[in-house]
Amino acid sequence: MCGNNMSVPLPAIVPAARKATAAVIFLHGLGDNGYTWADAFTGIRLPYVKYICPHAPKMPVSINMRMSMPSWFDIYSLNSEVDEDEIGIKRASENIKAMIDQEVKNGIPSHRIMLGGFSQGGALSLYTALTTHQKLAGVVGLSCWLPLRKSFPQACANNVNRDMHLLQCHGDADPLVPFFYGTQTNDKMKSLINPKNVSFKKYRGLAHNACAEEILDIKKFIEKHLPPITENL
């Protein structure tokens, strides 16, 4: 599932309390693991939604003196004008698309699947949502940016997700991924998908992490765009 790194454990999963009719695939940030977000989703779970929180493979990360840590792709710099790990980003994106395909095989249609992530994971979720051929319910990007943004709109010329819903969240005191990266990304996303479907939420005083208010906003977004399916009796 993750290239040639066979040591990546299976994703952390919060199963649906009843039959799963929707899924959320959520990607953690640099140096973290899927359990952090599985714990967060346990507190806001919807009974018909399966939450899948994969773990990134360990790799040397340039920005952290080549120390090995869980990372979806290499990061050379926090300066958005510096070269990016294009090969790594595209490889990681293909792995996430394979996860979407697996859930479709499991019986959940792609339009009932939502992508999301925090920081580096949020960046990868935005990139994947824009370049996949699977029609998604939406995407959640927390404290993140759009990678390889100069390759858009060409990279999403055949994108089926022009009408997907996007929730972007960002703390205005973020020292790692500055708040203006979030607003720049939001402007870019409005040019790539239906701007009416794009939401941006600012959290006063929030640094590079998540807060309780943000988690509740995510729950509301999931509830709205992955509503329960009413069975025809």
**What does the H/E/C string look like for the chain?**
CCCCCCCCCCCEEECCCCCCCEEEEEECCCCCCHHHHHHHHHCCCCCCEEEEECCCCEEEEHHHCCEEEECCCCCCCCCCCCCCCHHHHHHHHHHHHHHHHHHHHCCCCHHHEEEEEECHHHHHHHHHHHHCCCCCCEEEEECCCCCCHHHCCHHHCCCCCCCCEEEEEEECCCCCCCHHHHHHHHHHHHHHCCHHHEEEEEECCCCCCCCHHHHHHHHHHHHHHCCCCCCCC
Question: What is the predicted pLDDT for the residue at 158?
Answer: 66
3-state secondary structure 125-181: HHHHHHHCCCCCCEEEEECCCCCCHHHCCHHHCCCCCCCCEEEEEEECCCCCCCHHH
Question: What is the predicted pLDDT for the residue at 198?
Answer: 96
Residue 1 included in any domain: no
Residue type, 43: G
Residue 104 included in any domain: yes
Which candidate in 32, 85, 174, 217 is catalytic? Answer: 174
Number of domains in the chain: 1
Residue 45 included in any domain: yes
104-118, 151-165, 178-192: the lowest-pLDDT one = 151-165
174: annotated active-site residue: yes
Could you report the per-residue pLDDT of 174-189, keeping only the tens digit for each? 999 999 999 999 999 9
Residue 30 included in any domain: yes
On the question of pLDDT at 232 being above 60, the answer is no
Q: Can you tell me the mean pLDDT for 102-107?
A: 95
Could you report the per-residue pLDDT of 55-86, keeping only the tens digit for each? 999 999 998 889 999 999 999 987 766 789 99
Q: What is the CATH number of the domain that holds 109?
A: 3.40.50.1820
163: annotated active-site residue: no
> From residue 119, how far is each of 14, 116, 170, 185, 231 by CA, in Å?
21, 10, 10, 12, 37
Residue 147 included in any domain: yes
Question: What is the predicted pLDDT for the residue at 157?
Answer: 58
State the Cα–Cα distance between residues 85 and 217, nearest whole angstrom. Answer: 31
* Global confidence as pTM: 0.93
Which candidate in 71, 93, 110, 119 is catalytic? Answer: 119
State the Cα–Cα distance between residues 146 and 184, nearest whole angstrom. Answer: 9
Residue 231 included in any domain: no
Domain assignment of residue 215, given as a range? 12-225
Residue 232 included in any domain: no
